[in-house]
Amino acid sequence: MPIAFADRLNNVETSAIRELFKLLGKPGIISFAGGFPDSALFDVDGIRIAANAALTHEPGAALQYGATEGYQPLREEIARFMGNKGCTDLAPEQLIVTTGSQQALDLLGKTLISPGDKVIVEGPTFLATIQCFKLYGAELISAPVDGDGVQTDALERLIEEHHPKFVYLIPTFGNPSGALLPEERRRKVLAMAVKHQTLIVEDDPYGDLYFDAPPPPSLLALSASVPGSRELLVHCGSLSKVLSPGLRVGWMVGPAELLSKATMCKQFSDAHTSTFAQATAAHYLKSGRMQGTLERVRKVYAERARAMGEALRRELGAAVEFVQPAGGLFIWARLTGQTGLLTDGAELAKRAIENNVAFVPGAPFYASNPDLSTLRLSFATVGLDKIEEGIQRLGASLQQA
Amino acid sequence: MPIAFADRLNNVETSAIRELFKLLGKPGIISFAGGFPDSALFDVDGIRIAANAALTHEPGAALQYGATEGYQPLREEIARFMGNKGCTDLAPEQLIVTTGSQQALDLLGKTLISPGDKVIVEGPTFLATIQCFKLYGAELISAPVDGDGVQTDALERLIEEHHPKFVYLIPTFGNPSGALLPEERRRKVLAMAVKHQTLIVEDDPYGDLYFDAPPPPSLLALSASVPGSRELLVHCGSLSKVLSPGLRVGWMVGPAELLSKATMCKQFSDAHTSTFAQATAAHYLKSGRMQGTLERVRKVYAERARAMGEALRRELGAAVEFVQPAGGLFIWARLTGQTGLLTDGAELAKRAIENNVAFVPGAPFYASNPDLSTLRLSFATVGLDKIEEGIQRLGASLQQA
């Protein structure tokens, strides 16, 4: 029998990227295609100690069903962690724990989006956000991004034109753009939220991964000084990029009524996030090891980002343009077509795979009007030597007739 | 600003049960209201050994992002676990890992249900199933249940009348009915699946918790001998009731095309189930401790079920009727009204709370036409002495004017 699937599945296409990822198992390939942290940097000892502490001190709680809102000691630790980043007024009850920040996106979709509702995202934005919201029937509108993140004037015009259900932004070292929204633009975003009474979602999985100086305060931190904006702001955080994606521990801060509805939806999505993972994360945060872990990973990613930027300038020269990222996992580059070379990112990706180097072409990251000349290159999981070698191969792929 | 929530939220009501659960913190209360296993029975040492083995032998895999379908060694162990229960032909690729079996329900809703689609469930059925499917816009139809589970003749008439998207059953020690569907009815269900080309979902979190003899083979095991039925069958399993709910490890077996769509939906729901929890579960299953754990918990729950049954007969006599369960966590009872006593389960629940004993009235477990005289009593988490005392209090509550 052919199964009759739900209509909502017609809203998403099988990703072109998935086909690419099937090729990544090829031996000898250097991959800049991933979107994940380097597992060699995981604080395995610290996580082991935390997991054992959870099983020793609270085996019942760590292994039993738990509150849908999240394990209370973890909510307290997350509030403290956020407090150290400038959100000093956050109570544990103002956040819920989610199964990775991907689930926060899913709960936003489930809670807020009726089919046909409009949502503004950045162009480009996180691929799984596009697909997640589309499954709930959202019509996505892309706000243009430059090297400083979303262009606030254009964003405001789109809000005025479309009255979106909400605006979804990754203001800090966004995936894929790597861009950092300056404080001035952040304040403009909060001001327009209040002016137009528009809900803003700040997705912030990368903010802790800065290289030299900390980024400007998050929208959440800034909202304390913009009257009326906190009640129009959702903030999603995650331990995935800084500690371990395998724990699947994220969180969502938001207006009380929204959190209440999201909690109800979460109850019927997965009941609660693994209490074992939550108790482990709580003990880890409590142990005080996070600061050291962050300093260590920032240093490694900073070196790799620098090496990749230098190699790109050396090997590809004027054929690419990009803003050197100040944090995160990605360099977002555009093929300029200078000296008559290729400008199609997807075509370059195919050639590159043949030359044993992989990256993700940028087009799928756009909800509409893709810039076909873009590329996303992750430096996070590749050692310095291999970055050199991989970018050389990329340069050779571009030069190839 | 009042947030405009999605239309689908209008399909679910805030649960009356939730109000009841708020009262359970009252000191001195004896609670038969829970739906969870006894945390005192968790094999904490075994889980600790498994978690440490995962972090020692495969720290990268256990802490990194993983495949949405599930951690391959866990899929292999689950296939073996299912093989030991009579599903000898199950390949690891024929199942996906879910974040508890609650997520399997969510993925079925997301993948299959368009607003207005009909789904047949048992009356009564699992409360979170009702709410989960309603959030996707399902119209639920209740098939009547007796002491032997769903009445197959009535079920077939409902299938003919409503042409449902699928039929959802908990054939083995169901929540809340505790009923066990005999093999003959199981074969009838599979035959009608083939005859009417109707998808059947078998939710089986309790099948391992039998008291004396094992239950009849699952629909999944039986489907091997009913030509054409396997392609119309989804089976949901879980470690929550037998090992630990806190791991949030469940699984779903189903037709390849359905698993493929469910995997896509899961990618945008939570990316994947915690690899840390999955690797821990895989090592636990591999360790061979599960058999001993199952024997231990079966023995304890069997004693408690027997004690509760005896106490009910002694203390409430002809005022209640119930089928003594052969497994699971629940006794499902009906107030007969004999000797002129109360027949309203919700009213009895209120009185009982005042007398420091709690249970869940049965009405909310019906998607339609509730039997208001029903009660769900869980014996799983209460010691023998407290079962006696609690049922005495329940009897006194019923006698109360």
> Do B115 and B258 sit in the same domain of this protein?
yes
The confidence band for A19, taking pLDDT boundaries of 50, 70 and 90, is low
Q: 3-state class of A49 per DSSP? A: helix
- Report the helix count and the strand count for chain A, using DSSP H and E: 14, 14
> Do A173 and A73 sit in the same domain of this protein?
yes
Question: Does B271 contact A128 at a Cβ distance shorter than 8 Å?
Answer: yes
The confidence band for B27, taking pLDDT boundaries of 50, 70 and 90, is confident
**Helical (H) or strand (E) element with A223:** helix A219-223
B131 near A CB under 8 A = yes
Distance of CA A350 to the CA centre of its chain: 25
Closest CA to B185 of B176, B197, B172: B172
B201 near A CB under 8 A = no
Question: Does B100 contact A270 at a Cβ distance shorter than 8 Å?
Answer: yes
Q: Name A241's Cβ contacts closer than 8 Å, sequence gap at least 6.
A: A37, A205, A206, A208, A209, A329
Q: 3-state class of B122 per DSSP? A: strand
Closest CA to B204 of B290, B104, B296: B104
Question: Does B274 contact A246 at a Cβ distance shorter than 8 Å?
Answer: yes
pLDDT of residue B26: 80
* Position A233 in a domain: yes
Question: Does B6 contact A136 at a Cβ distance shorter than 8 Å?
Answer: yes
Tokens of B13: 């009501």
> Do B285 and B372 sit in the same domain of this protein?
no
Which one of A244, A258, A269 has the shortest CB-CB distance to B3?
Answer: A258
Which one of B6, B64, B261 has the shortest CB-CB distance to A114?
Answer: B6
Question: Does B246 contact A8 at a Cβ distance shorter than 8 Å?
Answer: no
- The count of structural domains within chain B is 2
Tokens of B119: 């789904």
Cα separation, A37 vs A297, whole angstroms: 9
A201 near B CB under 8 A = no
Judged by CB atoms within 8 Å, which residues 228-267 of B form the interface with A? 231-232, 240, 244-248, 255, 257-258, 261, 264-265, 267
In the predicted model, is pLDDT for residue A401 greater than 70?
A: no
Mean pLDDT of A27-42: 94
B64 CB neighbours in chain A (<8 A) are 36-37, 39, 42, 244-246
The confidence band for A276, taking pLDDT boundaries of 50, 70 and 90, is very high
A138 near B CB under 8 A = no
Phi, psi (rounded to 5 degrees) for A200? -115, 135
What CATH number has the domain bearing residue B275? 3.40.640.10
Residue that is last in its domain, among B241, B266, B289: B289
> Do B263 and B377 sit in the same domain of this protein?
no
What CATH number has the domain bearing residue B311? 3.90.1150.10
In the predicted model, is pLDDT for residue B334 greater than 90?
A: yes
The confidence band for B18, taking pLDDT boundaries of 50, 70 and 90, is low
Cα separation, A108 vs A110, whole angstroms: 6
> Do B299 and B160 sit in the same domain of this protein?
no
In the predicted model, is pLDDT for residue B259 greater than 90?
A: yes
Question: Could you list the residue range(s) of the whole structural domain that residue A233 is in?
Answer: 44-288
Question: Does A44 contact B36 at a Cβ distance shorter than 8 Å?
Answer: no
Å from B53 to nearest chain A CA?
10
Which one of A42, A59, A269 has the shortest CB-CB distance to B42?
Answer: A59
Q: How far is CA A328 from each of CA A123, A175, A378, rounded to the nearest angstrom?
A: 18, 8, 9
> A256-267 and A100-112 are packed helices; what angle lies between their axes, rounded to 10 degrees?
100
In the predicted model, is pLDDT for residue B390 greater than 90?
A: yes
Question: Does B1 contact A264 at a Cβ distance shorter than 8 Å?
Answer: no
Q: 3-state class of A254 per DSSP? A: coil
pTM of the model: 0.97
Judged by CB atoms within 8 Å, which residues 321-380 of A form the interface with B? none
Q: List pLDDT tens digits, range A96-141.
A: 999 999 999 999 999 999 999 999 999 999 999 999 999 999 999 9
Cα separation, A221 vs A207, whole angstroms: 12
- Exposed, middle or buried, A271 (CB in 10 Å: 0-12/13-18/19+)? buried
* Position B1 in a domain: no
A200 near B CB under 8 A = no
Mean pLDDT lowest among A34-38, A292-296, B201-205: A34-38
B84 near A CB under 8 A = no
Probe site for chain A from B276, B329, B378 (most A CB atoms < 10 A): B276
* Position A1 in a domain: no
* Position B2 in a domain: no
> Do B361 and B274 sit in the same domain of this protein?
no
Which one of A63, A247, A267 has the shortest CB-CB distance to B47?
Answer: A63
* Position A182 in a domain: yes
Contact A144, A123 (CB under 8 A): yes
> Do A161 and A277 sit in the same domain of this protein?
yes
A55 CB neighbours in chain B (<8 A) are 44, 47-48, 51
Å from B211 to nearest chain A CA?
22
Tokens of A143: 């706000």
Residue that is last in its domain, among A271, A288, A305: A288
Residue that is last in its domain, among A288, A303, A333: A288
Å from B55 to nearest chain A CA?
7
Mean pLDDT of B107-132: 97
Contact A143, A121 (CB under 8 A): yes
Cα separation, B208 vs B37, whole angstroms: 13
Mean pLDDT of A354-365: 96
pLDDT of residue A293: 98
Average pLDDT over chain A, rounded to whole? 96
The confidence band for B158, taking pLDDT boundaries of 50, 70 and 90, is very high
Å from A185 to nearest chain B CA?
23
A68 CB neighbours in chain B (<8 A) are none
> Do B237 and B353 sit in the same domain of this protein?
no
Mean pLDDT lowest among A220-224, B9-13, B24-28, B272-276: B24-28
Nearest residue on chain A to B129, alpha-carbon basis: A268
A267 CB neighbours in chain B (<8 A) are 128, 131
**Share in percent of chain B as helix, strand, coil (round to 5):** 50, 15, 35
Question: Does B3 contact A36 at a Cβ distance shorter than 8 Å?
Answer: no
Å from B62 to nearest chain A CA?
6
> Do B208 and B103 sit in the same domain of this protein?
yes
> Do B256 and B372 sit in the same domain of this protein?
no
pLDDT of residue B14: 64
* Position A260 in a domain: yes
Which one of A12, A55, A261 has the shortest CB-CB distance to B44?
Answer: A55
Å from A320 to nearest chain B CA?
30
B47 near A CB under 8 A = yes
Judged by CB atoms within 8 Å, which residues 110-129 of B form the interface with A? 110-114, 117, 128
Mean pLDDT of A173-190: 98
Q: Name B161's Cβ contacts closer than 8 Å, sequence gap at least 6.
A: none
Probe site for chain B from A44, A57, A63, A136 (most B CB atoms < 10 A): A63
> Do A30 and A84 sit in the same domain of this protein?
no
Q: List pLDDT tens digits, range B165-182.
A: 999 999 999 999 999 999
The confidence band for A365, taking pLDDT boundaries of 50, 70 and 90, is very high
pLDDT of residue A46: 98
pLDDT of residue B340: 85
Q: List pLDDT tens digits, range B49-81.
A: 999 999 999 999 999 999 999 999 999 999 999
* Position A2 in a domain: no
Q: Name B67's Cβ contacts closer than 8 Å, sequence gap at least 6.
A: B272
> Do A248 and A213 sit in the same domain of this protein?
yes
Nearest residue on chain A to B18, alpha-carbon basis: A264
Q: How far is CA B238 from each of CA B87, B115, B177, B327, rounded to the nearest angstrom?
A: 15, 28, 19, 16
Å from A314 to nearest chain B CA?
32
Provide the number of CB pairs (under 8 Å) joining chain A to chain B: 230
CB neighbour burial string for A26-36, b if at least 16 within 10 angstroms, e if fewer: eeebbbbbbbe
Q: What is the DSSP letter of A230?
A: G
B65 CB neighbours in chain A (<8 A) are 36, 240, 245-246
* Position B107 in a domain: yes
pLDDT of residue B13: 76
Nearest residue on chain A to B258, alpha-carbon basis: A3
Cα separation, B24 vs B16, whole angstroms: 14
Question: Does A103 contact B135 at a Cβ distance shorter than 8 Å?
Answer: no
Percentage of chain B exceeding pLDDT 70 = 98
